[in-house]
């Protein structure tokens, strides 16, 4: 048995991770700020949590106190979502990057040398693509005029031809295309530096599209699954952006929790992993599956777009399988059907 501190342990993913750690007979403490972006109501934590620290991660004294007697940290705390633009930079960088820097400094002082970081597939920007003529290519940033005209698929930057999406692996270059994505890249760099300088172990789990019971409802910081689910609960049709053909990998929160447990065993150094189902689904298919299972209005494909979105991100889950022994157990078809009627967080 070890003592684990879970930052953000009262949030959607954090509470699932906390419950899984308790079920595996770990002692668990939680540090959570109850940020209003994630919590409309006072958060609850699972029974059995040893200590609950209600504090901001940027409060160095509070973090130092929370680390007493701790063997490892599972760092879930973050402000998530695309962010609306440059005006969001101070809050995102403060919560995500400064908060992580304070945590790492306090861990170094406390002698805690094991960290699991909640990262994200957004670090890749656009996923991997292949041109029939030029092979693997990286698309240019999305063109607002082209998106407005309904040209959603990225063209080959060399010849303009249509591209085929391919699997993105952990060695793919980082190319953040939103405020949130930029902070996740910075978190990974800070943790890699900390691991080298402290002789520590870091597993950076690049979550793909996480969904499941307990997602927060009615907030722009929710994932698309929760936004669609909230619409159905209110009798409204899910509003699908672009043409609905965007490919994503939807991974159930219980699988994400299992991946966090497995990641506690990595050796020294910095180790990134895709955490995904390995079963890609279009956003339109996901919305239709939720609507069908819920018995609500059919999705409406709007053609609207957000410039910070990307077109396709398909994950290779092979490194996590080989090195962590982790493979997702919940097929999206099963998980989304159950999620359609699952409770959301207020």
Cβ atoms within 10 Å, residue 115: 27
Strands in 192-287 per DSSP E = 201-207, 209-211, 239-240, 247-248, 250-252, 269-275, 281-282
Assign 1 a pLDDT band (cuts: 50, 70, 90).
Answer: low
Q: Please enumerate in sequence order all residues whose Cβ is within 8 A of that of 120, keeping only pairs 6 or more positions apart, or say none.
A: 80, 180, 181, 184, 206, 207
By annotation, the residues acting in catalysis are 180
Cβ atoms within 10 Å, residue 182: 20
Assign 178 a pLDDT band (cuts: 50, 70, 90).
Answer: confident
CA distance 289 to 238: 11
At residue 346, the pLDDT reads 66
Min mean pLDDT across 45-59, 64-78, 104-118 is at 45-59
Nearest residue to 338 (alpha-carbon basis) of 229, 249, 234: 229
What are the beta bridge partners of residue 162?
Answer: 155
Mean pLDDT across the stretch 258-281? 97
Q: Answer whether residue 13 shows pLDDT above 70.
A: yes
Nearest residue to 260 (alpha-carbon basis) of 48, 15, 1, 10: 15
Residue-wise pLDDT for 216-247, tens only, equals 876 655 678 888 998 999 999 999 999 999 99
At residue 344, the pLDDT reads 84
Assign 343 a pLDDT band (cuts: 50, 70, 90).
Answer: confident
At residue 221, the pLDDT reads 56
At residue 39, the pLDDT reads 56
Assign 325 a pLDDT band (cuts: 50, 70, 90).
Answer: very high
Nearest residue to 254 (alpha-carbon basis) of 271, 277, 233, 274: 277
Q: Answer whether residue 186 shows pLDDT above 90.
A: yes
Residue-wise pLDDT for 90-140, tens only, equals 999 999 999 999 999 999 999 999 999 999 999 999 889 999 999 999 998
Residue-wise pLDDT for 72-85, tens only, equals 999 999 988 765 67
Q: Which residue has the tokens 């693509």?
A: 129
Min mean pLDDT across 19-28, 56-65, 100-109, 335-344 is at 335-344
Are 320 and 271 in contact by the 8 Å Cβ rule? The answer is no
Assign 35 a pLDDT band (cuts: 50, 70, 90).
Answer: low
Mean pLDDT across the stretch 274-282? 96
At residue 319, the pLDDT reads 98
Nearest residue to 166 (alpha-carbon basis) of 128, 208, 199: 128
Nearest residue to 130 (alpha-carbon basis) of 95, 159, 100, 89: 159
At residue 43, the pLDDT reads 65
At residue 42, the pLDDT reads 61
The helix/strand/coil state of 153 is: coil
């Amino acid at each position: 048995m070890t003592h684990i501190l879970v930052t953000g342990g009262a949030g959607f993913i954090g509470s699932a991770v906390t419950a899984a750690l308790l079920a595996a007979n770990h002692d668990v403490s939680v540090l959570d700020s109850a940020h209003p972006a994630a919590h409309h109501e006072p958060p609850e934590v699972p029974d059995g949590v040893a200590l609950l620290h209600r504090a901001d991660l940027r409060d160095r004294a509070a973090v130092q106190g929370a680390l007493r007697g701790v063997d490892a940290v599972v760092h879930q705390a973050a402000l998530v979502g695309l962010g609306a633009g440059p005006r969001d930079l101070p809050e995102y960088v403060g919560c995500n990057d400064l908060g992580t820097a304070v945590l790492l400094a306090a861990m170094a002082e406390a002698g805690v040398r094991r960290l699991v970081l909640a990262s994200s597939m957004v670090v890749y920007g656009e996923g991997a693509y292949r041109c029939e003529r030029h092979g693997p290519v990286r698309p240019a940033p999305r063109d607002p005029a082209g998106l407005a005209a309904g040209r959603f698929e990225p063209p080959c930057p060399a010849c303009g031809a249509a591209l085929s999406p391919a699997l993105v692996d952990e060695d793919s270059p980082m190319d953040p295309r939103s405020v949130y994505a930029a902070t996740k890249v910075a978190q990974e760099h800070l943790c890699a530096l900390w691991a080298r300088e402290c002789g520590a172990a870091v597993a950076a789990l690049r979550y793909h599209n996480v969904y499941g019971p307990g997602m927060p409802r009615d907030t722009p910081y929710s994932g698309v699954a929760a936004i669609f689910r909230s619409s159905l609960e209110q009798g409204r049709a899910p509003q699908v952006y672009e043409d609905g053909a965007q490919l994503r990998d939807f991974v159930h929160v219980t699988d994400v929790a299992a991946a966090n447990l497995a990641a506690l065993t990595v050796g020294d150094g910095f180790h990134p992993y895709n955490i995904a189902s390995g079963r890609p689904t279009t956003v339109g298919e996901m919305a239709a599956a939720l609507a069908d299972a819920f018995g609500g209005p059919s999705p409406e494909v709007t053609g609207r777009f957000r410039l910070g979105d990307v077109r396709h991100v398909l994950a290779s889950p092979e490194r996590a399988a080989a090195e962590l022994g982790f493979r997702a157990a919940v097929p999206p078809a099963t998980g989304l059907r159950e999620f359609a009627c699952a409770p959301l967080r207020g």
